[in-house]
Amino acid sequence: MSTSSTPTTTLDPDSARQGYDRDRLVRVAVLGVGMMGQDHARRLATLTAGAELVAVSDVDVARTDAVAQEFGVRAIHDPRAAVTDPEVDALVIATPGFTHEDLVLLALDAGKPVLCEKPLTTSPETSRRIVEREAELGRQLVQVGFMRRFDAGYQQLRALIASGDHGAPLFLHCAHRNATTPPNFNSEQLMLDSVVHEVDVTRYLTGEEVVAIRVIAPRSTAQAPEGLRDPQFVIMETESGILVDVEIFVNTTFGYEVRTELVAERGQARIGLPEGMVTQSAQGWGGSIPKDFKERFGAAYDTEFQRWIDAVRNGTNVDGPGVWDGYAAAAVCAAGVRSLRTGERVEVDLGPRP
Ligand SMILES: NC(=O)c1ccc[n+]([C@@H]2O[C@H](COP(=O)([O-])OP(=O)(O)OC[C@H]3O[C@@H](n4cnc5c(N)ncnc54)[C@H](O)[C@@H]3O)[C@@H](O)[C@H]2O)c1
Ligand SMILES: O[C@H]1[C@H](O)[C@@H](O)[C@H](O)[C@@H](O)[C@H]1O
């Protein structure tokens, strides 16, 4: 088995901004400026070439004003008005998942490109409505924030599978661990907000749909808050019979880890192992563990945003996962929520693709 380190692609803000005509900058508004939205606002304001952060909007008026002031952009207090604002060309939606359907449909009606954070929506029915509305429009406008597709390690693993050098994939073993969860995070969100990444990664890596899912909840950690079974063990089956297991554990207390191991007919590969500097000192030897997704996937978000803005500028609007990917993930996650309740294996039927 060969191992290779994961290259990172960090954009240099100064060199990345060179060569763009200011008149052609894409004027972007960020809706929802909590944890993720503020990070994306900073990315757009300082790093993404060809983009201009022009406005922020949040139902929390004080937060809107504070973030607008920090970046020297407009504060728009009504998020729906931000979508239709004539001075806004494109939108980043970083509000909670249950608000996405309304805002994305409004953006589609306004004909504006959107980068919508995952999950596209919180149910297959609502995601399907977006798929159908975009199909009626006849052009892609919505990209979904499945940023792992822009992570160098996942890209390498996908290329390895596609090359066939290791033979057909048999298993993907995934571990997805967070240090802690936000307040009120519950078992349903564990599936819709966290496992949704592994659903998308499975589809991205294998090129196959997920046809069944089963969720098993072992004993919970003492750190699990009320309403959250943590950890959980998820087993997915793809069309050709590849088995994908996911250990999802979001209160490890100490760090952020996302790993995937491929077992194929004639070889294996692992990504997401601890990497970077290993230190030796009187305290012992060791490296560091990322504290959160912003650190672990920082380069992936940077690349995701750059490619999205490039796509908007060249008129294709989307360069990454689209609404069908968001819908498929929502359908598998809804089946996962049912499986956790019943303990049964639940089949997934996506129905026809418009
Ligand atoms: N890709 C990733 O790795 C990643 C990581 C974290 C969060 N996310 C996603 O980003 C989104 C936001 O998550 P977060 O952790 O930043 O949440 P958050 O709670 O920190 O921030 C959400 C913000 O949206 C605001 N808001 C709520 N309803 C709104 C509405 N209708 N219009 C405008 N603003 C509204 C809230 O006031 C808050 O400021 C979610 O979809 C989440 O799943 C993705
Ligand atoms: O919303 C977050 C985010 O998407 C992270 O990437 C994931 O690790 C967390 O589990 C999830 O809650």
Atom of ligand 1 nearest to the CA of 33: 39
Query: In this prediction, what percent of the chain has a pLDDT beyond 70?
Result: 93
Between CA 206 and CA 171 the distance in angstroms is: 10
Span 273-295, mean pLDDT?
85
Domains and CATH numbers, the chain: 26-147+303-322 (3.40.50.720), 151-293+326-347 (3.30.360.10)
What pLDDT shows up at residue 16? 44
Residue 254 vs residue 144, higher pLDDT: 144
- CA neighbours closer than 13 Å in the CB half-sphere of residue 66: 9
Cβ-Cβ contacts under 8 Å for 53 (sequence gap 6 or more): 28, 29, 30, 41, 44, 45, 71, 73
Atom of ligand 2 nearest to the CA of 118: 4
Here the ipTM equals 0.99
Cα 339 to middle of ligand 2, angstroms: 21
**Model confidence at 284, in pLDDT bands (50, 70, 90)?**
confident
What pLDDT shows up at residue 23? 62
Q: Which-ligand-closest: CA of 291?
A: 2
Residue nearest atom 7 of ligand 1, based on CA coordinates: 36
What pLDDT shows up at residue 224? 96
Q: Which-ligand-closest: CA of 292?
A: 2
Find which of 13-22, 52-61, 265-274 is predicted with most confidence, using mean pLDDT.
52-61
**Model confidence at 20, in pLDDT bands (50, 70, 90)?**
very low
Q: Are strands 346-347 and 210-216 parallel, antiparallel or unpaired?
A: antiparallel
**Model confidence at 288, in pLDDT bands (50, 70, 90)?**
confident
What pLDDT shows up at residue 275? 67
Cα 293 to middle of ligand 2, angstroms: 7
Cβ-Cβ contacts under 8 Å for 125 (sequence gap 6 or more): none
Residue 164 confidence (pLDDT) above 60: yes
Between CA 56 and CA 75 the distance in angstroms is: 5
Span 194-214, mean pLDDT?
98
Between CA 156 and CA 269 the distance in angstroms is: 10
Atom of ligand 1 nearest to the CA of 95: 24
Cα 30 to middle of ligand 1, angstroms: 11
Q: Which-ligand-closest: CA of 301?
A: 1
Atom of ligand 2 nearest to the CA of 297: 6
> Which of 193, 230, 251, 256 should be mutated for ligand 2, with most atoms under 8 A from CB?
193
Residue nearest atom 7 of ligand 2, based on CA coordinates: 194
Cα 28 to middle of ligand 2, angstroms: 24
What pLDDT shows up at residue 277? 79
Between CA 75 and CA 218 the distance in angstroms is: 46
Confirm or reject: Cβ of 34 under 6 Å from ligand 1.
Answer: yes
- CA neighbours closer than 13 Å in the CB half-sphere of residue 260: 27
Residue 201 confidence (pLDDT) above 50: yes
Atom of ligand 2 nearest to the CA of 181: 12
Between CA 150 and CA 172 the distance in angstroms is: 19
What pLDDT shows up at residue 22? 52
User: Considering the chain, what is the average pLDDT of its residues?
Assistant: 93
